[in-house]
Amino acid sequence: DIQMTQSPSSLSASVGDRVTITCRASQGIRNDLGWYQQKPGKAPKRLIYAASSLQSGVPSRFSGSGSGTEFTLTISSLQPEDFATYYCLQHNSLFTFGPGTKVDIK
């Protein structure tokens, strides 16, 4: 099975900060990766698909990059509504979620 790791597991940031989250796969997954945002008590919401394609309706401050085994999610200027937990999901071979990155207020 493909394993996913994420770093950092948590981070504290201020509004306006640039934030980068990294996801690594245990083997190459091409660009079969999505990024999801989850707020407490809510279902996850997809932000990015195919590693770098922005989901319709998602603000352009979110971007994704990477291919193979290393991927990043970047928030160019953190907004108050972006404080949440972020998960990557590989779907190259079955499905595997990363362990999550919690972004909270500094």
Residues within the interface to another protein (CB under 8 A): 1, 30-32, 34, 36, 38, 43-46, 49-50, 55, 87, 89, 91-92, 94-100
3-state secondary structure string across 10-46: EEEECCCCCEEEEEEECCCCCCCEEEEEECCCCCCEE
70 vs 77, beta carbon nearer another protein: 70
Residue 101 CB neighbour total at 10 angstroms: 22
Distance of closest approach, residue 60 Cβ to another protein, in angstroms: 19
Question: For 32, phi and psi rounded to 5 degrees?
Answer: -85, 70
Q: Which is nearer to another protein, 20 or 100 (CB)?
A: 100
Q: Which is nearer to another protein, 31 or 76 (CB)?
A: 31
